[in-house]
Amino acid sequence: MPEVLRTGKSWIEKTPDVIGGDACIRNTRIAVWMLVQGRRLGLSNARLLEAHPALNQADLDLAWDYYQRHHEEVDQALRENEEAGCVNG
């Protein structure tokens, strides 16, 4: 498994054929950049969990930790997806 960051309840992985190889939450196609975009749009953790029922609080905590450690990578993925029209900037 191409692990990037792990806690007891969650992990983030980068798999070449999943979401373009971007960092995703465990066994999902939910990229960290997607959650960061939601946060930038003003969504709370509770709202993000509502919007992504496959996630739990441990997943969000790990996503925020991953973003702190790898913000340049995540910001680049976010920019690329904005340019491709995948998200609203």
Q: What is the CATH number of the domain that holds 41?
A: 1.10.10.10
**Is residue 42 situated within a structural domain?**
yes
CB 38 within 8 A of CB 49: no
**Is residue 89 situated within a structural domain?**
no
> Predicted confidence band at 45 (pLDDT cuts at 50, 70, 90)?
very high
Domain enclosing residue 29, as ranges: 3-83
**Is residue 69 situated within a structural domain?**
yes
pLDDT in tens, 63-77: 999 999 999 999 999
**Is residue 31 situated within a structural domain?**
yes
pTM above 0.85, yes or no: yes
Total domains present in the chain: 1
Which residues are within 8 A (CB) of 6 and not within 5 positions of it... i.e. 6 or more apart? 12
**Is residue 88 situated within a structural domain?**
no
